[in-house]
Chains A and B, each alone.
Chain A
Amino acid sequence: MDTEQDVTGEPPRSAPYYAPAGDEAGLFEQAAKHDLPVLIKGPTGCGKTRFVQYMADRLGRALYTVACHDDLTAADLVGRHLIGPAGTFWQDGPLTRAVREGAICYLDEIIEARKDTTVILHPLTDDRRMLPLDATGECLHAAPGFMLVVSYNPGYRNLLKGLKPSTRQRFVALSFDYPAPAVEQQIVAHEGGVDADTAHTLVKLAGALRHLGGHDLDESPSTRLLIHAARLIRAGVDTLTACTACLAEPLTDDLTTRAAILDVVRAHFAVAPARAPMRTSIRTSIRTPIRAI
């Protein structure tokens, strides 16, 4: 089993932090109420996964998360036979478990999964709400409360990958983006544990760097990167070092772009109080030529 699973199976103990950007929580609740599957699209690190965790907690449902990848087979989702001490036995996959228990099944980056894998979702995502298990001959009907949530990043323009239109048209779709500056500042301050000023500067810096997305940079800096930088800064790492490690290096391999990012970082963070000594030095600089004479 090479599925990367974060199978908690029970609601997290403390409620996950999530700052809503709009009415996405209301929409999600309505979708859950009416047994509709949800598709979330948005750039990397903008809070898709956190949102799903938050909603699972709010709805009081268990959450099964599957990170999708090229080799994900239908068996990885549905389940397979395993060998035990008394011969073989059937092991439910995360999707089957969610269907039986009435939990939320979250398929992260579904676009990475092969198209034939996603086809098994079809009978689950229309009003039949059932999951046929070929290997055991069962046909499961989803328990009340079962909900399918998938997400992907539309920024990757891979011609050979993509959701089949027939898959895509089964979902209620929510489009995510990086939060508005005020909200993002609040998130960075809360998650990164830094003061409001540092969070403000980090968000302003990210705003500047996001202008480079799609042009100088392949992708814009994410809220997640900002939180990482904030955590390092809070831990006492020098601001420039933290921004180099958390912003410049992850965003680009190009030396010129990296140097430019560092210039932008330097412009945003005051290094030392510079205003006071300036006045004293005016006199020295004007006096110097006189001394020379």
Chain B
Amino acid sequence: MEEQVGIRWHHLVTRLADTRHPQAAVMLERIAPRLATVLRALGADPGLGVRASPERRLATPRRWLQKLAGTGRRHAVAWRDDDGLRLPPVLDTFDQIALNEGLGLWLVALASRAPAPGPADDWAGWNRRLVAQTLDDYPGLAELYGRLARTHVAQRPRPALQESDGSRREAALQAALLEPRDAPAVPPAAGDPLPVPLWLYPVEAADNARPPSDDAAEERPAAAGAGQQLRQRKRASYVDDIDGRSGLLVFRLESLFSWSEFIPLDRTADDDDTDAARVAEDLDHLSLSRKRSASSSRLRVDLDLPSATEDDIPLGEGRLLPEWDWRKAALLPDHCRVVPMLPRGATPLPLPARLQPAATRLRQRFESLRPQKSWLRRQADGDVLDLSACVDFSVQRQLGSAPGQPLLWRRQSAQQRDLACLVLADLSLSTEAAIDDEHQVIDVIRDSLHLLGEALDAGGDAFSMYGFSSRRRDHVRLSLIKNFADAWGDEVRGRVQSLRPGYYTRMGAAIRQATEILGGQAAEQRLLLLLTDGKPNDLDLYEGRYGMEDTRHALMEARRAGLQPFCVTIDQEAADYLPHLFGAQRFHLLRRAQDLPRVLPQLYLLLTGRSP
């Protein structure tokens, strides 16, 4: 009973103390894609993005109700960082949806004019100059800004009559909001002013927000997938690891770490500690441990091999394939064993419901591009006379060189487009990495395969799909999803759904095997489409130059076999090495992995010449 009263009181008093407008709230995740596009356009950098910001603690004056409710200490504000703009996850400063959306647009324009994160000192002056510059550069925003500023100033408390530092500052701040060009400077005062949603804040000062430099970190296999992602970005700083080897054990009771200061949430070790994740959500400061070493994580991966009963079903002993050693400039014969695998436990599944609308659209689009019936000209027999053939024939007859069996007819026939496509998807452990709050790279790859499969099935092109990963040269796994003979259906969809990331990326061997499969197709045009998220690498010496050169050689073999390799990658550094591997125009770099399912079918049309 007491507890219930307490909860009710808490709800009531927090609602009363709340100065926000939930009825007009605009969720950032809804408008973020649009704002990000605007930011990229105005900010002149295709790498920029818009993400949610965590709340930060500000020492602002609080109303007595807020003090009573214990709220108003933490505020979601906006700031510019190197990756783009951080915005509050919910925009609810104003009581109209249009104004809250306008606030997002305004902050994006403001951030596009900020060359770098704002300075911690002279915050108000920096913002005033920024606002003035933004209004100069984008005169179309003056009207919006005027409305936002007027409405917001009306929400702020009227500066008290008695002269105090705080009220002088508040008055100057309000004047600066309304007249960013010619208001007087904002005087300093103790504490923070009430949050100004129309301005950008400096990046939150953290002593050690950068991870300590750690060479071993680079060599680690990229298994950065955190099991659970927090919905908000958390402030985080790296702490020194507790060194277990130091001899003297000093135990002082007051130095015990409390929960709020240090929890050993080891993000690099993929712990499934849901409890820690839950706790982390409640905390506003995380301490991260950087403790790891390449050997221990390698060991872990090797030990983590599934037992034979759990692993995918190997289809036969595998095939021995050569590998290119660039130092010897020679192909090492029978160097890799490529084992075809079938995902275990793949049950026939329908297409996930969330992909249904996109799949329907794609099906319609690709069906309309199916090879149409066309008129074949100059046939020996047919339904209609071929006029131009007849004219040519009569000309030639007059010239005295007409053939005895003229081809004068036109016939209608279904024209075959002679095209086969093999999709090779990278399933290495790095695809376990998270791309946003809810999705991992592997989710995106699965969705992409689903949608591309739907599209190609509707378009009537011959295609097959494989995934690949590797664990040293004796175990290159080629997961069969669909071969050229399989029909696209629930069984294949189930295999797509059961794809799981694991191991490394021995790209060369996988490409050679794919070349062999695709080379066996009799089509005139053969497209080898590679989806990947990083460079070739494996546990042994297959990394750096070695892996790169082997992959390049495998691709040259593919081209010699008459295939057209093309790579789609989400690795942002790929522009450094993909031209070397695939050729300048033969790859596509996606800035946002989430776009892959949408872009891939379009790209396929582009590559096969059915869209401009």
A residues at B contact (CB < 8 Å)? 80-83, 87-88, 135, 154, 156-161, 208-209, 211-212, 214-216, 218, 256-257, 259-261, 263-272, 274-275, 277-279, 281-282, 285-286, 288-290
9 additional contacts (CB under 8 A) given A156-B612, A211-B41, A267-B42: A159-B525, A159-B608, A160-B564, A209-B41, A211-B45, A266-B140, A269-B140, A275-B142, A278-B178
Instruction: Report yes or no: A216 in contact with B37, Cβ–Cβ below 8 A.
Output: yes
Check: B150 CB closer than 8 A to any chain A CB. yes
Given contacts A88-B394, A157-B585, A160-B608, is CB(A260)–CB(B38) below 8 Å?
A: yes
Instruction: Report yes or no: A278 in contact with B146, Cβ–Cβ below 8 A.
Output: yes
> In the assembled complex, which residues on chain A have CB atoms less than 8 Å from the CB atom of B527?
159
> In the assembled complex, which residues on chain A have CB atoms less than 8 Å from the CB atom of B395?
81, 88, 135
Please, how many angstroms separate the alpha-carbon atoms of A259 and B30 in the complex? Answer: 13
Instruction: Report yes or no: A264 in contact with B38, Cβ–Cβ below 8 A.
Output: yes
B residues at A contact (CB < 8 Å)? 33-35, 37-38, 40-46, 105, 109, 138-143, 145-146, 149-150, 153-154, 158, 174, 178-179, 388, 391-392, 394-395, 398, 525, 527, 564, 566, 585-586, 588, 591, 602, 606-609, 612
Instruction: Report yes or no: A260 in contact with B142, Cβ–Cβ below 8 A.
Output: no
Can you list 9 A-B pairs, Cβ within 8 angstroms, ordered by A?
A: A80-B388, A83-B394, A157-B585, A158-B606, A261-B37, A263-B105, A266-B140, A281-B146, A282-B178
> In the assembled complex, which residues on chain A have CB atoms less than 8 Å from the CB atom of B139?
268-270
Please, how many angstroms separate the alpha-carbon atoms of A211 and B38 in the complex? Answer: 10
**Which chain A residue shows the least CB distance to B608?**
A160
> In the assembled complex, which residues on chain A have CB atoms less than 8 Å from the CB atom of B154?
285, 288-289
**Which chain B residue shows the least CB distance to A275?**
B142
Instruction: Report yes or no: A208 in contact with B37, Cβ–Cβ below 8 A.
Output: no
Minimal beta-carbon separation of B153 from chain A (angstroms)? 6
Instruction: Report yes or no: A158 in contact with B607, Cβ–Cβ below 8 A.
Output: yes
Instruction: Report yes or no: A208 in contact with B398, Cβ–Cβ below 8 A.
Output: no
Minimal beta-carbon separation of A190 from chain B (angstroms)? 24
> In the assembled complex, which residues on chain A have CB atoms less than 8 Å from the CB atom of B525?
159-160
Given contacts A80-B388, A267-B42, A270-B142, is CB(A156)–CB(B105) below 8 Å?
A: no
Instruction: Report yes or no: B591 in contact with A215, Cβ–Cβ below 8 A.
Output: yes
> In the assembled complex, which residues on chain A have CB atoms less than 8 Å from the CB atom of B608?
158-160
Minimal beta-carbon separation of B209 from chain A (angstroms)? 29
> In the assembled complex, which residues on chain A have CB atoms less than 8 Å from the CB atom of B138?
267-268
A156, A214, A282: the one contacting B150 at CB < 8 Å is: A282
Please, how many angstroms separate the alpha-carbon atoms of A256 and B41 in the complex? Answer: 14
**Which chain B residue shows the least CB distance to A75?**
B388
> In the assembled complex, which residues on chain B have CB atoms less than 8 Å from the CB atom of A265?
140
Instruction: Report yes or no: A88 in contact with B391, Cβ–Cβ below 8 A.
Output: yes
Minimal beta-carbon separation of B179 from chain A (angstroms)? 7
Instruction: Report yes or no: A279 in contact with B37, Cβ–Cβ below 8 A.
Output: no
Most buried by A among B138, B178, B398: B138
Instruction: Report yes or no: A159 in contact with B564, Cβ–Cβ below 8 A.
Output: yes
Instruction: Report yes or no: B179 in contact with A259, Cβ–Cβ below 8 A.
Output: no
Minimal beta-carbon separation of B133 from chain A (angstroms)? 13
> In the assembled complex, which residues on chain B have CB atoms less than 8 Å from the CB atom of A82?
391
Minimal beta-carbon separation of B158 from chain A (angstroms)? 6
Instruction: Report yes or no: A160 in contact with B609, Cβ–Cβ below 8 A.
Output: yes
Instruction: Report yes or no: A208 in contact with B591, Cβ–Cβ below 8 A.
Output: no
> In the assembled complex, which residues on chain B have CB atoms less than 8 Å from the CB atom of A281?
146, 150
> In the assembled complex, which residues on chain B have CB atoms less than 8 Å from the CB atom of A267?
38, 42, 105, 109, 138, 140-141
